[in-house]
Structure 1
Amino acid sequence: MNPASLILLAFAMSTDAFAASVGRGAELSKVRFISALRIGIVFGVVEAIMPLAGWALGHVAMRFVSGIDHWIAFAMLALLGGHMIWEGLKKGGADAIKVAGAQQEDKSIWLIAVTALATSIDAMAVGITLALTDINIVVASLAIGLATTLMVTLGTLLGRAIGTIVGKWAEVLGGLILIAIGVAVLYEHLAGLTSV
């Protein structure tokens, strides 16, 4: 995976967390930078850990699927991207996540972590997919974590100004990016086969 694809992947993984943070910020009467950064760091750490867990699972399964790994990576990314698009377009898709994390202004770190976990399950699936590709998982996980920290912090700060609709469309964009990356993985493999 080239650096541009890695950056796109990192930001695609952060879109559902961004959608949740925009909803959270939209409901708060006043958002302080330190609070937004704290929420961003919690989401970023959780989002960075999940691909590592998925990668470990995928690495174990690698010996069983090495002949069709590119097709599996394509299918998983396409399904995950399609699911993100569906959730983004579905009325209330992002709202279900944001309500779970926005009941009160004084949130405990544990409630924020649970909300972060709910939005990072897709990162675990991507981690499984990354085990099937030639990528440094530590670099990928750090990129995903940093992108999520940035996006969640910004989403929380801008929530009052941009509203929940932007968060939903961000999730749709993230889904389209995942599908495009899946197509690129498949294309690179098939092009490599035909050029040999």
Structure 2
Amino acid sequence: MGIISILLIAVGLAMDSLAVSISGGIVMRPFCMRQSLRLAFTMGIFQGGMTLFGWLMGVSFSSYITTFDHWIAFILLGFLGGKMIYESFREEETTISSFSTKTLLTLGVATSIDALAVGVSMAFLKTSIYFPAFIIGFVTFSLSLIGVICGYRFGKIKGINVELFGGIILIGIGIKILIEHLME
């Protein structure tokens, strides 16, 4: 597989993580580079790691995963998005100064299920997975970090219910994943 193909796959896989990172940046107050790096690192590790894991699982297990992976992503993102929307209607402004490990792991799993499927499909190519998995993880990390920073800047605009907006983004990603897989 050529580098251009790997980069295109990496960018495609990173889009959900980018959107989630923008949502994270929207509610982050004050801005914290350490937390931004933590979120981006989690997204990158999960994308690259799930690609590798999918490749290792190979063909034999793929039919079991693809029957329900989209439902898992939909439920996780729907729950987190619903929670954000619910909290957006509370009186006090909700901000976060750090992401809990539980939240990071949930977001990491929910946004990287497609990478698992890509890894399984790469097993058919009979090629080394380590370079593609690294590139996928690195591109996701980079775009997620940019997303957190852009989301933070957007969240500073007054008069916008940023938590509501972030929740809608998460639910939208969940619906997108569900519809894409049901249409296959």
Would you say same fold, with TM above 0.5? yes
Q: Equivalent of 1:172, from 158, 168, 173?
A: 168
Q: After superposition, give the CA deviation of every residue in 1:94-150 in whole Å (9 maximum; x if it has no partner).
A: x99843x2xxxxxxxxxx5xx274543222344345223436544443343223211
Instruction: Give unpaired runs (5+ residues) of structure 1.
Output: 29-34, 102-111, 189-196
Is 1:10 the counterpart of 2:6 in the alignment? no
Q: What SS class does the counterpart of residue 80 from structure 2 fall into?
A: helix
Structure 2, unaligned stretches of length 5 or more?
A: 1-6, 123-131
1-side partners of 2:50 and 2:140: how far apart?
A: 13
Give the drift of 1:58. Answer: 5.0
Among 73, 77, 82, the alignment partner of 1:81 is 77
The one-letter code sitting in structure 1 at the alignment partner of 2:115 is L
For the pair 1:90 / 2:86, whether they are aligned, the reply is yes
CA distance in 2, matches of 1:65, 1:96: 45
Residues 23 and 169 in structure 2, CA contact (< 8 A), matched pair in contact too: no
- Secondary structure of 1:144's partner? helix
Q: CA RMSD in A?
A: 4.0
Task: Find the counterpart in structure 2 of residue 120 from structure 1.
Answer: 104
State which drifts further: 148-157 or 38-47.
38-47
- Percent of residue pairs identical: 13
Distance change >3 Å, CA 58–CA 125, structure 1 → 2: farther
The answer to whether the Cα contact below 8 Å between 2:17 and 2:140 also exists between their aligned partners in 1 is: yes
Q: TM-score, normalised by structure 2?
A: 0.62
Q: Matches of 2:158 and 2:145 in 1, distance apart?
A: 19
**Which of residues 117, 124, 141 in structure 2 aligns to 1:132?**
117
- Report deviation, 1:66: 2.7
Deviation at 1:182, TM superposition (A): 3.2
